[in-house]
Structure 1
Amino acid sequence: MKDVRLTHIGGPTLLIEVGGWRILTDPTFDAPGKRYFFGWGTTSRKTTGPAISADQLGTIDAVLISHDHHGDNLDPAGRALLPKLGTIVTTVPGAKRLAGSGPTRGLAAWDTTRLEAPGKPAIEITATPCRHGPPGSHPIVGEVVGFALKWDGQEHGVLWISGDTVLYDGVREVAQRLTVDTAIFHLGGVKFPVSGPIRYTMTAQEAIELTGLIKPRAAIPIHYEGWKHFRQGRTAIEGELAAAPADIKALFHWLPIGEPVQDPAMD
């Protein structure tokens, strides 16, 4: 995806630059140290701040928020930025909650909207399914979506961001419905309680399985660091990748945090 530049700011926060557009995902800009409450007695502490400060961001045309109700995907500093970040694309209930923060568009799974501006290619944004926990967890964890970005001139398929999800049939449907060039996986293998059996985000092994189904040109892990509740950091993910089939392992690429990368598949 040579016409795209990606910068991993930290956690789930990614800057996507393409065709004059500057799009931010899940803005988290709080300093480390604060404890966050995720509901039903679950908490976590942020351990790492953003590699790029909010003041260094520059102009942002749109922000994609997989879900607005967890502090590791939209923290207070990120929320305060929203009126300056252009169009907000998020879940249907999230758009209602964020309506006072700027122009909002709420999408359910497989809904589509378009970003349009003079002198820039239109970008079609499709929400993709997420299940942020085990079967039946939706009433507890709330609505979450991923995002597929499509624009004229793409050679190998869409840019897809998984959002916070476990691997289940809704996510597998991405392989059936979309041709993906770059897959960005929210990983971390989150569990609450940390020693319990209930998991809320993908593991490296699930990302390996999903990569085999989707067959992207590049697979990129994000949202695996910077918080106490992650059970799989980079070392654990790399350990799982070491045992993966060679053709799958070759598709995974790490974005250096805070540094722009033009084409991850060429690193």
Structure 2
Amino acid sequence: MSDVRLTHVGGPTTLVEVAGWRLLTDPTFDPPGRRYGFGLGTSSRKLTGPAVEVDALGPIDAVLLTHDHHADNLDDAGRSLLSLVDDIVTTESGARRLGGRAQGLRPWQSLTLSRPGRPSIEVTATPCRHGPPLSGPLVGDVIGFALAWEGQRHGALWFTGDTVLYGGVREVAGRVPVGTAVLHLGGVRFPITGPLRYSLTARRAVKLCELVRPHTTIPVHYEGWSHFQEPRPAIERAFSSAPAEVRDSVRWLPIGAPTDIDV
């Protein structure tokens, strides 16, 4: 029950396989080349396609969707996938937009995924702020997800969601025993808004890991889109100078290859 198989499909999209469950985060499966608008003059081009095509993905029990209104977290092909999934967990506003089976959570609210013959998984929404102070009404609601089930050795499996480092996300350190932290990085920035950041930089991620102290740290959300400003080499440099317990916790997932993680 502490063994989890993770597949980094690309961008934020990650397949989680544990004890018969198959969960997918932020499904993005469109081909590369298209530019998507994010509002207020911001946009991004998709540079690479998914490492696993949606037709090869296999059945999915639930989608954990940090937010539905940006195409680097839910594109057209990912949106089509939602109709094939029994459970969709997202923000309250996203659930209203998606309708149907979508269930909305506000920060620190939880629900339980259950199926006969499988362990139950508690899903807790964690706070995110997808930009600078006071940007919430402009960038929209985002949440992260902490997943807990019996038998975890080190603690919860936590997907940070698209967030900068701020007071809300710092609360995780005092409220969730995190075993594995999947960090949405990239240091997102747009020319029209200058130096403002809309996701974690690697240096801020190091500070977050110093607070949360995960056993395993996994970077995602750093490649495949033109608005990601910190690729893997920049992330590696930042973590190479981090304290030893943070530096040694980093585990890179080969994109498209299932990887076993001790959670």
Q: TM-score, normalised by structure 2?
A: 0.97
Does the 8 Å CA contact 2:108/2:124 hold for their aligned counterparts?
A: yes
2:11 aligns with 11
Does the 8 Å CA contact 1:146/1:160 hold for their aligned counterparts?
A: yes
Does the 8 Å CA contact 2:178/2:212 hold for their aligned counterparts?
A: yes
Does the 8 Å CA contact 2:19/2:119 hold for their aligned counterparts?
A: yes
Within-5 A mapping of 1:170-209: 170-193=168-191, 196-209=194-207
Looking at structure 1, the residues matched to 122 and 239 of structure 2 have their Cα atoms a distance apart, in angstroms, of 32
Code of the residue aligned with 1:128 in structure 2: it is T
Looking at structure 2, the residues matched to 88 and 235 of structure 1 have their Cα atoms a distance apart, in angstroms, of 34
1:35-78 deviations in Å (ceiling 9; x for gaps): 00000000110001000000011110000000000000000010
1:81 aligns with 81
**Sequence identity (%):** 60
Residue aligned with 2:249, SS? coil
Residue aligned with 2:22, SS? strand
2:37 aligns with 37
Within-5 A mapping of 1:89-238: 89-100=89-100, 103-193=101-191, 196-238=194-236
- Report runs of 4+ in structure 1 exceeding 3 Å deviation: none
1:188-247 deviations in Å (ceiling 9; x for gaps): 001122781211000011111111111111000000000000110101111111222222
Within-5 A mapping of 1:249-264: 249-263=247-261
Looking at structure 1, the residues matched to 246 and 91 of structure 2 have their Cα atoms a distance apart, in angstroms, of 31
Aligned length: 263
CA RMSD of aligned residues (A): 1.3
Looking at structure 2, the residues matched to 2 and 129 of structure 1 have their Cα atoms a distance apart, in angstroms, of 25
Q: Unaligned stretches of 5+ in structure 1?
A: none
**Superposed displacement of residue 2, structure 1:** 4.0
Code of the residue aligned with 2:148 in structure 1: it is K
Looking at structure 1, the residues matched to 185 and 262 of structure 2 have their Cα atoms a distance apart, in angstroms, of 18
Looking at structure 2, the residues matched to 264 and 116 of structure 1 have their Cα atoms a distance apart, in angstroms, of 22
Residue aligned with 1:263, SS? strand
Looking at structure 2, the residues matched to 150 and 240 of structure 1 have their Cα atoms a distance apart, in angstroms, of 29
Residue aligned with 2:191, SS? coil
CA change 1:129–1:195 in 2 (3 A) is closer
**Superposed displacement of residue 5, structure 1:** 0.6
Most deviating of 106-115 and 242-251: 242-251
CA change 1:213–1:253 in 2 (3 A) is same
Does the 8 Å CA contact 1:132/1:165 hold for their aligned counterparts?
A: yes
Residue aligned with 2:250, SS? coil
Q: Unaligned stretches of 5+ in structure 2?
A: none
